[in-house]
Amino acid sequence: MKKPKQKLDKVMSMFDRDHGYSPEDAAMMLQRYKKHIHRQWKKFAKDENDWRTGEETYGFGNVSEQLHYISDRYKCAFRLRWLYDMINKFEETK
């Protein structure tokens, strides 16, 4: 059985290949990894002393483009926080 990190890597690679996902669909695809993303964010944020929110970094104007951009470089505090905040923001709109 694959670990959450390996599965998340696979989902994130989908955003690299296709950047036409709606924010709601992306949030739904990432929902199952929300706890893992949050745990990783807290670990990285403590190590990096970076507690910025998703709104403070990229915002949510063009979610599809941001997902495509960070798909292979999301393993740092501010990008994990952006993912976490994006899931929270767009899961509520469904």
What is the domain partition of the chain in residue ranges? Answer: 4-91
Contacts of 6 (CB under 8 A, 6+ apart): none
Residue with tokens 């989908």: 14
Mean pLDDT of 33-51: 97
- Would the pLDDT of 79 be above 80? yes
pTM above 0.85, yes or no: yes
pLDDT at residue 60, as a whole number: 94
Q: Cα–Cα distance between 7 and 54 in angstroms, integer?
A: 22
Mind listing the pLDDT tens digit for each residue in 3-21? 777 889 999 999 988 778 8
